[in-house]
């Protein structure tokens, strides 16, 4: 049984919001302005279910937000597993990717667009159509002129080095989505220095066989001055941005008392705590 928790957040009081939703081993980042939301990736697919129907659609329904589109980083199932459910629920849903699939909008270096107060700039991959592997991930920088978010998908060290060579200072961002769930194959010191961020957010599942995040990766971020957050420890991670100021809230640490979590541990899916942030009014 998946435990769902609800915390009310007033999106109208914030300029915009970021939610790294706890989907287990996978990725789904929601970027919201008012009651509209864009998703970066759609979470994983499982044997008989997927994060789109199990987590993301209920989250959208509860928060009353309207899905405007999905940016798909690459083709791996832990990132696109929930897409079909979202498309079924919302025919004609706009999808942006570097996969060259029918109906997809492009997502390759140089693409830019404005959505409300937010500017989206695609930094990687360099080509319009890719094989959809980790190093082909669509890397997107989102900013409002003061606060910025770098979404990296699953890029690994090879792509990181090429990206830094291309962008140089253009990678600087307030917050970075940790690439490849904190794997030791990603998050090189060169990228971390170039981004020069303040916080790092990783999406992963507790007690995973791949032992993510790698201890060395977490240490590297901290040595570079980042605060580390991950969904394995925090559950859903929420960032509220208002007039250049921002605040991070963690579902497990700040919203749900530890004793309640311990008491319900036997009923929850190991390593997954999904909550829906809706601000108290």
| Tens digits of residue pLDDT in 184-203 | 889 999 999 999 999 999 99
pLDDT reading at 213 higher than 50: yes
* Residue 43, pLDDT score: 96
Q: Which value, to the nearest 10 degrees, does the dihedral of the CA atoms of residues 96, 100, 106, 108 take?
A: 110
Mean pLDDT of 234-258: 84
Model confidence at 13, in pLDDT bands (50, 70, 90)?
Answer: confident
Give the list of residues 6+ apart from residue 212 with CB closer than 8 angstroms, or none.
181, 182, 183, 202, 204
| 161 vs 253, residue with greater confidence | 161
Question: Which letter does DSSP use for residue 263 in this model?
Answer: H
Q: Alpha-carbon distance 163 to 170, whole Å?
A: 10
What percentage of residues in the chain have a pLDDT greater than 90? 73
Comparison of pLDDT for 10 and 22, the residue scoring more: 22
- The helix (H) or strand (E) run that includes residue 114 is strand 112-115
CA dihedral 248, 95, 171, 26 (to 10 degrees): 50
Tens-digit pLDDT profile for residues 156-172: 999 999 999 999 889 99
Checking if the pLDDT of 280 tops 70, the result is no
Q: Tell me the CATH number at 12.
A: 3.60.15.10
Q: Which domain, by its residues, includes 93?
A: 8-268
Mean pLDDT of 35-49: 95
Q: pLDDT averaged over the chain? A: 87
Q: Containing H/E element for 221?
A: helix 215-223
Looking at per-residue pLDDT, the higher value among 234 and 123 belongs to: 123
Whole-angstrom distance, CA of residue 269 vs CA of residue 202? 19
Compute the average pLDDT of residues 50-61.
95
Q: Which residue has the higher pLDDT, 8 or 135?
A: 135
Q: What is the structure's pLDDT at 36?
A: 98
Query: What pLDDT shows up at residue 205?
Result: 80
Kindly tell me if the per-residue pLDDT of 259 is higher than 60.
no
**Quick check: is 280 in a domain?**
no
The pLDDT of residue 175 is 98
Is it the case that residue 113 has pLDDT exceeding 60? yes
Q: Does the residue 277 lie in any domain?
A: no
- Read off the pLDDT of each residue in 50-54 and give the average, rounded to a whole number: 95
* Per-residue confidence band for 47, with pLDDT thresholds at 50, 70 and 90: confident
Look at residue 278 and tell me if it is in a domain. no
Per residue in 89-102, pLDDT tens? 999 999 999 999 99
CB 33 within 8 A of CB 1: no
Write down the pLDDT at residue 169: 86
Report pTM: 0.88
Distance, in Å, from the CA atom of 171 to the CA atom of 149, rounded to the nearest integer, reads 10
Mean pLDDT on 110-131: 96
Domain count for the chain? 1
Residue 159, domain member (yes or no): yes
User: Is position 281 within any domain?
Assistant: no
Q: Is the dihedral of CA 240, 246, 251, 257 positive or negative?
A: negative
């Amino acid at each position: 049984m998946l435990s769902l928790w609800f915390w009310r957040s007033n999106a109208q009081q914030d300029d915009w919001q970021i939610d790294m939703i706890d989907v287990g081993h996978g990725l789904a980042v929601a970027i919201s302005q008012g009651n509209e939301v864009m998703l970066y990736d759609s979470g994983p697919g499982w044997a008989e279910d997927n994060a789109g129907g199990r987590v993301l659609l209920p989250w959208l329904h509860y928060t009353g937000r309207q899905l405007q589109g999905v940016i798909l980083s690459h083709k791996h199932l832990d990132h696109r597993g929930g897409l079909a459910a979202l498309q079924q629920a919302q025919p004609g849903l706009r999808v942006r990717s570097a996969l060259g699939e029918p109906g997809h909008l492009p997502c390759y270096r140089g693409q830019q667009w404005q959505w409300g107060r937010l500017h989206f700039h695609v930094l990687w991959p360099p080509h319009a159509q890719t094989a959809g592997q980790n190093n082909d991930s669509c890397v997107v920088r989102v900013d409002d002129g003061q606060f910025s978010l770098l979404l990296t998908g699953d890029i690994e060290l090879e792509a990181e080095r090429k990206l830094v060579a291309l962008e140089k200072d253009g990678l600087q961002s307030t917050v970075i989505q940790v690439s490849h769930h904190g794997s030791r194959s990603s998050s090189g010191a060169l990228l971390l220095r170039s981004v020069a961020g303040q916080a790092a957010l990783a999406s992963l599942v507790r007690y995973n066989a791949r032992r993510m995040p790698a201890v060395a990766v977490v240490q590297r971020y901290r040595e570079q001055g980042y605060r580390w957050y991950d969904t394995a420890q925090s559950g859903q991670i929420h960032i509220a941005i208002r007039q250049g100021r921002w605040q991070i809230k963690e579902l497990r640490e700040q919203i749900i008392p530890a004793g309640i979590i311990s008491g319900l541990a036997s009923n929850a899916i190991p390593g997954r705590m999904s909550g829906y942030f809706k601000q108290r009014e």
